[in-house]
Amino acid sequence: MAPSDYSKPFINVSSPYPYVAVVELDRPKKLNSFTQQMFTDIGSVFSRLSVDPDVRAIILTAAGDRAFTAGLDVTAASGGHIGGDSNPGEDVARKAWALRRHIKEIQEPVSEIEKCEKPVICCMHGISYGAAIDISTCCDIRICSKDSRFSVREVAIGLAADVGTLTRLPHTQVPMSWIKDICLTAREFSAEEAMTMGFVSGVLEDKKALLQRAYDLAKEIADKSPIAVQGTKAVINYSRDHSVADGLDYIAVWNAAMLQSKDVKDAMLSGIQKRTPTFEKL
Amino acid sequence: MAPSDYSKPFINVSSPYPYVAVVELDRPKKLNSFTQQMFTDIGSVFSRLSVDPDVRAIILTAAGDRAFTAGLDVTAASGGHIGGDSNPGEDVARKAWALRRHIKEIQEPVSEIEKCEKPVICCMHGISYGAAIDISTCCDIRICSKDSRFSVREVAIGLAADVGTLTRLPHTQVPMSWIKDICLTAREFSAEEAMTMGFVSGVLEDKKALLQRAYDLAKEIADKSPIAVQGTKAVINYSRDHSVADGLDYIAVWNAAMLQSKDVKDAMLSGIQKRTPTFEKL
Amino acid sequence: MAPSDYSKPFINVSSPYPYVAVVELDRPKKLNSFTQQMFTDIGSVFSRLSVDPDVRAIILTAAGDRAFTAGLDVTAASGGHIGGDSNPGEDVARKAWALRRHIKEIQEPVSEIEKCEKPVICCMHGISYGAAIDISTCCDIRICSKDSRFSVREVAIGLAADVGTLTRLPHTQVPMSWIKDICLTAREFSAEEAMTMGFVSGVLEDKKALLQRAYDLAKEIADKSPIAVQGTKAVINYSRDHSVADGLDYIAVWNAAMLQSKDVKDAMLSGIQKRTPTFEKL
Amino acid sequence: MAPSDYSKPFINVSSPYPYVAVVELDRPKKLNSFTQQMFTDIGSVFSRLSVDPDVRAIILTAAGDRAFTAGLDVTAASGGHIGGDSNPGEDVARKAWALRRHIKEIQEPVSEIEKCEKPVICCMHGISYGAAIDISTCCDIRICSKDSRFSVREVAIGLAADVGTLTRLPHTQVPMSWIKDICLTAREFSAEEAMTMGFVSGVLEDKKALLQRAYDLAKEIADKSPIAVQGTKAVINYSRDHSVADGLDYIAVWNAAMLQSKDVKDAMLSGIQKRTPTFEKL
Amino acid sequence: MAPSDYSKPFINVSSPYPYVAVVELDRPKKLNSFTQQMFTDIGSVFSRLSVDPDVRAIILTAAGDRAFTAGLDVTAASGGHIGGDSNPGEDVARKAWALRRHIKEIQEPVSEIEKCEKPVICCMHGISYGAAIDISTCCDIRICSKDSRFSVREVAIGLAADVGTLTRLPHTQVPMSWIKDICLTAREFSAEEAMTMGFVSGVLEDKKALLQRAYDLAKEIADKSPIAVQGTKAVINYSRDHSVADGLDYIAVWNAAMLQSKDVKDAMLSGIQKRTPTFEKL
Amino acid sequence: MAPSDYSKPFINVSSPYPYVAVVELDRPKKLNSFTQQMFTDIGSVFSRLSVDPDVRAIILTAAGDRAFTAGLDVTAASGGHIGGDSNPGEDVARKAWALRRHIKEIQEPVSEIEKCEKPVICCMHGISYGAAIDISTCCDIRICSKDSRFSVREVAIGLAADVGTLTRLPHTQVPMSWIKDICLTAREFSAEEAMTMGFVSGVLEDKKALLQRAYDLAKEIADKSPIAVQGTKAVINYSRDHSVADGLDYIAVWNAAMLQSKDVKDAMLSGIQKRTPTFEKL
């Protein structure tokens, strides 16, 4: 089954290069804003790519020139739980229970992006609001084009971000003073500011250059041993949430198996012989 | 009761704009250095502002042109425990017990600034030494004027900072190599360096521009739903100290109640109708 | 016993200034690459310097113009466990057990650098690959010369870094997007990029200027109270891995004893009298 | 949809009393041993019961007189990954990757029992080996009949238990010396020993008495406010894995919504009026 | 100032033996049930005893024959937040905010009992419901008389216990299956059951014998070095919430000061000379 | 090299059965009390047994009829740091630094017992004071003879136990109320009490029966796959200090390698064929 078979309405999946999958948000007329279904769908796309042996690196991008995504489609979500009044007499605690379940239901597919075993490169351009931050903080590498305009929108619509932005932004390890500034004011920030603060690790001239850079990164990663690449991702994520002592213990257990891979020898030999190694699927 | 009623000797509290409180260190002849009483007082000021429904954003600043604060007033503290010899024959363990209690007593009011439910914007200028770092790392947003001169003084006076600097600096998420550099040498660093490293998230031309920027930020925050703003602060602080999984769980429980607020609907409608919403007190 | 007595093959230890020790990797013909023995030896050097009362600050540098270190000497390690095939029929689990022990054995000496009670300034120049990152992330302050070329090599040789790089890089508190970028691609990065991202906190013109800067830093640290300096290091490292509440508790217990030091009074008096204090050995 | 519709091959679900669901392992001829499919199925049963408003308490039992479950059906699993040799030349690291995924796949459905929002009472009788421990440690209350014979089998078949036994036994808070004894020897232990050590909190004469006790417990729970009951379960589980300070914070956020329930008033009034309250579905 | 001066309405404080304070709940006509004020008062009593050098061990008991405490006085609390309807149109989120603050306000004085630096022996008799569990789980040693009847009442009145019972019960280290049983059913349990499960560590014939046992324990503790006793309490509490590695590190920092006490020498000498040592106040 | 070659003064090591090592404290005239050297030596014995492929289970016992150990030999330690006055004018902080290092130096060898990869069965008889608790809490299984008399001595000699007792007792998962009772009073407790509370998991008639039971346990363990046994120990210890989620993740990574062992197949086949399997050394 090819990556393209994973496509969903408004979400295209393709594989322009061997071992590289591209996931494209494709609802440009609505600025790629998210319906609830799209949250569910993007989670299922990533959980399938996560275990597909033909995929070693993933690029996340969005169609059109104007936006990566404008965030949640408020109109489409209007019938939903948030801010609704559909059942004013309902018991507050039961409503709270339903809301908590609902939030966890949306958190789960988004977390699938973070749990994806393959590295994910997030390419942002134009309007990158709300869900753009939720989703991009689940990715491994964030780059953007010069015209990007970011915003953590939630306080502007009366709520504390709950799909992951407030939780994951501190773990991107950018300065807390700046995180508080952008989250408490909901103000827009530019590609340049995002780069200075370390939210993104690259700013490209335009969307075309952005995608080219992403392809280059993805290919560089896809050429490496998948054992090494995916192990590196897993262990960095673990270390981020644990102490140094725990991290050292974890990698020792991890590599007890992984160092027995033929990839290690193949990679070393290729290095000495100055040729590109080929690695088995994982 | 108005915020100004919270004023204490050397600490002015005012409210120049609705929902915005300004706390001003006011001991300029002594470079706003702290007596022990001032530590207790600033804690009590912030614990009252924390629950005052008329306050939605707080600016922390200091009187005079020369200093935000020069730190602890060593002369005033000379009768105190630190470095004293008042009772040379006293049992070391009993002295240690007293010191531990004493340190916790000073830590507590300073921690009140961090625990304050409302966002706190710290505006630093001129000399910003010792306690300046302790206090500013409890604030949410740190900005400064160009003439600021910072220093973590403690190693220069023979001790490891214990009011909070060493504990909170790593949690401001600025690079560790730089944290170690400034803490181990006690050297001065400039506004520019503070900005590059992310310790502050804004540098303004002079004190006047600094305060103007703080007012703008504070007003922007005070215009938002206090449910959203204070929830955002609470959840970011929680996430800073916990793993991603714990953070996602916490925000889901938090928003189970908070999303039932009328503020969400009001904010959304105002957004659509392009008017400024008004939010009830909290 | 003088620091120079701690020297080992390929590792020189000297003390050009009082209280300052210099550890020099000295295998320039092999680009200061590490044999397995060198890992063991550098650990033992640092664990001795850690408790030597004549040492208050340590500089880590490397001989020659071309490299701080090119990493593991793959040829020298070829007879070893990694990627080897010496015993193809061996039980996988038993091999795994041996590998886990082996990794922990290499981790331990490297961790001695981090556990060293004295501040360590790491001066990098030229090629700084692989083990260079493992080792430098154990140091307190990282500075480099302009010609430095860094690389986390492991994915290029088919493995996830297990000596400490993946564990400690997130704890250097530089942006995660950049950490993932350099670790997943194994690409080279420059001194300038290292500075922008906060991996190093200083870039000097050349190796000579680099060492001069290191000496200045080391002397500034060595002039301070060792009680204050080493306490500062210990508490920052603790705080990095714990919540704010735990950190405040720890420093209170710590200083209960340390504030009883004569150093506090001596440092304060010297400050008032504008003279350089002298502190007893620790 | 009625609970009975959740039934799967070898797993019966019924609801003999309002709000009480009974899940019965039903493969008595094979001593209720587990096929791989049964692991998947029991997870899906519990994840559906978790959100079914008609269920407030769950009893887990097993058919026949001889066994709760004899554990994994080794014959049925013989074609699987464990101990297999199906592909002797396969890369060790790739095999390890597949095994890790496989273990997580089995862990996940078992964890669904622990994540189930409703209290689960586990009734064990006769042979209760291997998976019996994995599954029962996910339940809230463990009771058994006198004829129960328990065993943590894994070391006897050459492996460290990975579906959850080793992880969850310490969290049942029974003495560690005893946990190590039973896990390291794989020896059988009796109902009486299980009671003395606290592994079960009740021993009944026979299976009939056991089920009666379970029904009594389940009905007592089902008569209470589901808001209170399910909140109690959620918060105890959270507290088990967190510090006291974290636990107090979590319950405060939790109850901020839940105390607004009508159930509180209804329960209080019923108490005063000595009548049985009725609570809305959740 | 004598301990008796700390007395509050319904809370007597006395000191029948040197260094031993007795705190007695004294509202026997109402089964020693708690008003909100009593929560505040008991917190302030314990925070004062915590630092009173004339107190080295504390006994917590209650007046009358019928009850230790029947829990919260629901009638007295009826005007309060819980289950109230005083302002039905109020915004749910603002109500939640008030409730969270209110819960934390009640949690805080109860936590003062746990934070008290001196060991606290809790003596329970007769009815010991609701708040009895909240409070006794903050104490160090729990003993009771045979006639004690315990109950975690909360689920019976429609709520999840939030003053501390659910948080602290798992940390008393009694079996989880039993904790879930008593918390989910709100059933009564006897002194004997409490002893078997380890919730109390002693059951005495009647209230008189109970108090005698408490006095004996308290005197035994008060005769020891307060440095040793209070250090032991502090470190056990710390270890309960942290890993073994963290605990070992903490006690090493703690004893670095405390071992310098004269008490160590005095206690050792007294042991050799078989006489009772006298220790300075702390 | 045979286990007996690991013997040290006052510490005998023998191997009466294949794969079973016996470590015997052998200073019966001094009630097997510990000199400082013995702490160092027992650590080195266990760190060697930890990696000796000829050892699969270890029994820790002591010579003579009167005592397992009476604890620290105070007379022998009299020249040491504790309670000493050797240098009254020494700086308190420097003394504290030396004490902290000294405590960590004693903690380290004792921790080697806990870190030992092989299961350790601790057999206690007669006087089992002070260090007896430190050491036995590092062991996996604790059993004793009827005549055992235990005591956590430290508060009786004026100090808070710092070699590990206070840290590890809560992690043995016995009731906290009882832990506080025995630690705060330093009172003696019997074998029967130790069994009721779960501190030991077996009480035997006399020392002879005790050793017989230990041999039986050790042989049962030594007959199993060392991969399974040692993995079980490692994962239980990890799980004790981590959350359930972390524990499940860890065992999945662990078994990714370990399940590839031939031991699994051998153990399964032996089970089916009802014969005793033989496992390769580890």
Q: What is the pLDDT of residues E100-131, one digit of tens each?
A: 999 999 999 999 999 999 999 999 999 999 99
Chain F partners of B92 at a C-beta cutoff of 8 Å? 92, 95
What totals of helices (H) and strands (E) does chain B contain, helices first? 11, 10
C→D interface, C-beta within 8 Å: 92, 95, 245
Q: What is the pLDDT of residues A137-174, one digit of tens each?
A: 999 999 999 999 999 999 998 999 999 999 999 999 99
Cβ contact B131:C201 at 8 Å: no
Mean pLDDT value across chain B: 93
Choose between A264 and F122: higher pLDDT: F122
State the Cα–Cα distance between residues F162 and F154, nearest whole angstrom. 9
pLDDT average, residue stretch C188-215: 98
Flag whether pLDDT at A78 surpasses 80: no
Chain A neighbors (3+ CB pairs < 8 Å): B, C, D, E, F
C→E interface, C-beta within 8 Å: 238, 246, 249-250, 253-254, 256-257, 260
Of all residues in chain B, the one with the smallest CA distance to D251 is B253
Cβ contact F92:F114 at 8 Å: no
pLDDT band, very low/low/confident/very high, at F76 (cuts 50, 70, 90):
low
The type of residue at D151 is S
pLDDT average, residue stretch E83-93: 71
Are C260 and B95 inside 8 Å of each other by CB?
yes
Smallest CA-to-CA distance from E278 within E229, E223, E231, E227 is with E223
**Could you give the 3-state DSSP secondary structure of residue E121?**
strand
pLDDT average, residue stretch A177-187: 97
Chain E partners of F174 at a C-beta cutoff of 8 Å? 173, 198
Chain E partners of D201 at a C-beta cutoff of 8 Å? 175, 177-178, 181, 197
Best residue of A167, A169, A192, A199 to probe chain B, by most B CBs closer than 10 Å: A167
State the Cα–Cα distance between residues F34 and B177, nearest whole angstrom. 44
* Measured torsion, CA atoms of residues D28, D29, D32, D33, in degrees rounded to the nearest 10: 180
- pLDDT given for residue F3 in this prediction: 78
Flag whether pLDDT at C274 surpasses 60: yes
State the Cα–Cα distance between residues A224 and A213, nearest whole angstrom. 17
Choose between E43 and E83: higher pLDDT: E43
Name the minimum distance, in Å, from the CA of E108 to any CA of chain A: 25
State the Cα–Cα distance between residues B76 and E257, nearest whole angstrom. 27
State the Cα–Cα distance between residues C188 and A66, nearest whole angstrom. 34
Please state the separation of Cα D90 from the chain's center in Å.
36
Flag whether pLDDT at B226 surpasses 80: yes
B56: phi then psi, degrees, rounded to nearest 5: -125, -15
HSE value, Cβ hemisphere, 13 Å, CA-based, for B3: 27
Choose between C82 and C274: higher pLDDT: C274
Q: Which residue is it, tokens 């300046």? A: B132
Are A227 and C178 inside 8 Å of each other by CB?
no
Are A184 and B254 inside 8 Å of each other by CB?
no
Which of B201, B243, B250 minimises the CB distance to A178?
A: B201
Which stretches of C70-154 are assigned E, i.e. beta strand? 120-124, 127-129, 141-145, 149-151
State the Cα–Cα distance between residues C221 and C218, nearest whole angstrom. 5
**Interhelix angle for C92-115 vs D92-115, to 10°?**
80
- pLDDT given for residue C45 in this prediction: 98
Of all residues in chain C, the one with the smallest CA distance to B98 is C256
State the Cα–Cα distance between residues B111 and B109, nearest whole angstrom. 5
State the Cα–Cα distance between residues E207 and E126, nearest whole angstrom. 9
Flag whether pLDDT at A76 surpasses 80: no
**Interhelix angle for C92-115 vs F226-240, to 10°?**
40
Flag whether pLDDT at B249 surpasses 60: yes
Are B235 and A176 inside 8 Å of each other by CB?
no
State the Cα–Cα distance between residues A254 and A233, nearest whole angstrom. 12
Are F261 and C94 inside 8 Å of each other by CB?
yes
- Lookup: tokens for E78: 């009826």
Chain F partners of C228 at a C-beta cutoff of 8 Å? none
Of all residues in chain A, the one with the smallest CA distance to D255 is A93
Which of C246, C250, C257 minimises the CB distance to E256?
A: C257
D100-129 as b/e: b if 16+ CB within 10 A? bebbbebbebbbbbbebbbbbbbbbbbbbb
State the Cα–Cα distance between residues F278 and D154, nearest whole angstrom. 16
Q: Which residue is it, tokens 């079914």? A: D52
Which stretches of chain F are assigned E, i.e. beta strand? 11-17, 19-25, 55-62, 67-69, 120-124, 127-129, 141-145, 149-151, 189-190, 203-204
Q: What is the pLDDT of residues B123-177, one digit of tens each?
A: 999 999 999 999 999 999 999 999 999 999 999 999 999 999 999 999 999 999 9
Chain F partners of B95 at a C-beta cutoff of 8 Å? 92
**Interhelix angle for D244-258 vs A92-115, to 10°?**
130
Cβ contact D177:D84 at 8 Å: no
**Could you give the 3-state DSSP secondary structure of residue F168?**
helix
Q: What is the DSSP string of A25-87?
A: E--GGGTTPBPHHHHHHHHHHHHHHTT-TT-SEEEEEESSSSEEE--B-HHHHTTSSTT--S-
Name the minimum distance, in Å, from the CA of D280 to any CA of chain C: 41
Cβ contact C97:C157 at 8 Å: no
Cβ contact E162:D227 at 8 Å: no
Q: Which residue is it, tokens 């470095």? A: B83
Are D260 and B256 inside 8 Å of each other by CB?
no
Which of B94, B257, B258 minimises the CB distance to E280?
A: B94
Smallest CA-to-CA distance from A60 within A164, A127, A132 is with A132
B214-247 as b/e: b if 16+ CB within 10 A? bbebbbbbbbbbbbbbbbbbbbbbbbbbbbbebb
pLDDT average, residue stretch A188-211: 98
Are A263 and D93 inside 8 Å of each other by CB?
yes
- pLDDT given for residue A85 in this prediction: 52
State the Cα–Cα distance between residues F62 and F50, nearest whole angstrom. 20
**Total count of residues recorded for chain A:** 282
With a CB cutoff of 8 Å and minimum separation 6, the contacts of B78 are B84
Choose between B84 and B222: higher pLDDT: B222
Cβ contact A116:A233 at 8 Å: no
Of all residues in chain A, the one with the smallest CA distance to E96 is A92
- pLDDT given for residue A77 in this prediction: 57
- pLDDT given for residue B269 in this prediction: 87
Q: What is the pLDDT of residues B91-106, one digit of tens each?
A: 999 999 999 999 999 9
Calculate Rg over the CA atoms of chain E. 20
Flag whether pLDDT at E138 surpasses 90: yes
- pLDDT given for residue F179 in this prediction: 98
Which of A142, A245, A253 minimises the CB distance to C100?
A: A253
Cβ contact E238:F214 at 8 Å: no
Flag whether pLDDT at E22 surpasses 90: yes
First-to-last alpha carbon distance for chain D, in angstroms, is 16
Q: What is the pLDDT of residues A2-53, one digit of tens each?
A: 778 899 999 999 999 999 999 999 999 999 999 999 999 999 999 999 999 9
pTM of the model: 0.94
- pLDDT given for residue C192 in this prediction: 97
- pLDDT given for residue D76 in this prediction: 63
pLDDT average, residue stretch A212-236: 97
- Lookup: tokens for B282: 């909290």
D→C interface, C-beta within 8 Å: 92, 95, 245
**Could you give the 3-state DSSP secondary structure of residue E103?**
helix
Cβ contact D239:E164 at 8 Å: no
Q: What is the pLDDT of residues C82-132, one digit of tens each?
A: 554 556 678 999 999 999 999 999 999 999 999 999 999 999 999 999 999
Chain D neighbors (3+ CB pairs < 8 Å): A, B, C, E, F
How many other CB atoms sit within 10 Å of the CB of residue E164? 26
The rounded average pLDDT for each run of 10 residues, N- to C-terminus, in chain D (282 residues) is 86 96 98 95 97 97 97 68 61 94 94 97 98 98 98 93 95 98 97 97 98 97 96 96 94 94 90 87 90
When mean pLDDT is compared across C240-244, D109-113, E71-75, F54-58, the lowest value belongs to E71-75
Name the minimum distance, in Å, from the CA of F257 to any CA of chain B: 26
Could you give the percent of chain B with pLDDT greater than 90? 85
Q: Which residue is it, tokens 């023979």? A: B158
Of all residues in chain A, the one with the smallest CA distance to F231 is A253
pLDDT band, very low/low/confident/very high, at F174 (cuts 50, 70, 90):
very high
Q: Which residue is it, tokens 């960590």? A: F104
Smallest CA-to-CA distance from C252 within F161, E257, D244, B155 is with E257
ipTM given for this complex? 0.95
Which of C92, C164, C184 minimises the CB distance to A229?
A: C184
- Lookup: tokens for D177: 């010396």
Starting from the edge strand earliest in sequence, which strands make up the sheet with D120-124, in order? Answer: D11-17, D19-25, D55-62, D120-124, D141-145, D203-204
Please state the separation of Cα B90 from the chain's center in Å.
36
Choose between B94 and E81: higher pLDDT: B94
Flag whether pLDDT at F277 surpasses 70: yes
Q: Which residue is it, tokens 């002295």? A: B95
Are B197 and C198 inside 8 Å of each other by CB?
yes
Best residue of D86, D140, D185 to probe chain F, by most F CBs closer than 10 Å: D185
Chain C neighbors (3+ CB pairs < 8 Å): A, B, D, E, F
Q: What is the DSSP string of B49-96?
A: HTT-TTEEEEEEEESSSSEEE--B-HHHHTTSSTT--S-TTS-HHHHH
Smallest CA-to-CA distance from E179 within E192, E165, E169 is with E169
Are A96 and D258 inside 8 Å of each other by CB?
yes
Which of B246, B253, B260 minimises the CB distance to D253?
A: B253
Name the minimum distance, in Å, from the CA of F155 to any CA of chain A: 32
Q: For residue B128, list its beta bridge partners.
A: B69, B150
- pLDDT given for residue F99 in this prediction: 95
Starting from the edge strand earliest in sequence, which strands make up the sheet with B67-69, in order? Answer: B67-69, B127-129, B149-151, B189-190
- pLDDT given for residue D90 in this prediction: 85
Name the minimum distance, in Å, from the CA of C55 to any CA of chain F: 15
Q: What is the pLDDT of residues B56-72, one digit of tens each?
A: 999 999 999 999 999 98
Could you give the percent of chain F with pLDDT greater than 70? 95
Are C94 and F280 inside 8 Å of each other by CB?
yes
